[in-house]
Amino acid sequence: MVDSLFDIAGRVDKLLRNPPDTEPQQDSQEDAPALFESGNKDWRVRLAIPPNLSAYQDAEILKPLRETNNSMVWPYTPNIFMTHSANYNKLTPVHSNYPFPIYENSQVDQFIIQGEFTAENEQEARYWLAAMHFLRSVTKMAYGRSENQGAPPPVLKLNGYGDFVFKDLPVIVEQFQLNLPGDVDYIQVPGIGSGQGSWVPTRSEISVGVFPTFSRDTVNKFSLDKFVKGEYITQRRGTSPGGFI
């Protein structure tokens, strides 16, 4: 008797939420494209593979990233934490109630991109491996017997959410963090390495700390007037110093 009462209450609750003569409300937000889809409307957050370094273009393990517009894409909408700072030194006269702020400089601090990755099949698991190996690679310098010997870690281009959010923003990866949870299943990826291959978590998070960086020549061309008017954004890609935020 008690079970039947709970069943009736559940059916009544469903009817109240979705009456028979009405249709369920549709979410007006646009969904992100599937991981391996791309196109002009692909607004997902991505870090581009360096185009001028042959090792990144030839590496077999990075092939899944090259299939997503030559970049590492967060498959789900990530959390991004940004801080813009205007730094002032405080002049504090004696016997005064109010200090005088003296402007020093402005900057965009390091910001964190934190998002979830899932691996429900071998293709997605290979993508996770490629993303991890990519982040390991771009946090290392060209040391020892490397091409472009002595070069620091490469500058990457960050894009996401359209032109007025991140458009070709040059960044360096200062740190990254990924977790290997103990409470999820792992999927095997054969053919990577030797022996039994590699094992990838079916759900994990990858956090990347990036820092915007510009060349001295680009900074010398900066115009606050153009920035305020949005001209760096509206100029055709490739003709603007770009990336200023």
pLDDT at residue 54, as a whole number:
84
Question: In CATH, what number is assigned to the domain containing residue 177?
Answer: 2.40.30
pLDDT over 50 (residue 70): yes
Q: Is residue 167 part of a domain?
A: yes
pLDDT at residue 157, as a whole number:
93
pLDDT tens profile 9-20: 455 454 444 544
Q: Is residue 90 part of a domain?
A: yes
Q: Is residue 136 part of a domain?
A: yes
Q: Is residue 82 part of a domain?
A: yes
At residue 4, the 3 state secondary structure works out as: helix
DSSP state of 13: H
Higher pLDDT, 152 or 20: 152
Q: How far is CA 48 from the centre of its chain?
A: 10
How many domains is the chain partitioned into structurally?
A: 1
User: Considering the chain, what percentage of its residues have pLDDT values greater than 90?
Assistant: 48
Q: Exposure of 138 by Cβ count < 10 A (0-12 exposed, 13-18 middle, 19+ buried)?
A: buried
d(CA 9, CA 5): 6
CA angle 235, 220, 153 (to 5 degrees): 90
Q: Is residue 30 part of a domain?
A: no
pLDDT at residue 24, as a whole number:
39
Least confident of 3-12, 36-45, 194-203, 212-221: 3-12
- Of the chain, the end-to-end C-alpha distance in Å amounts to 64
One-letter identity of residue 85: S
d(CA 203, CA 95): 60
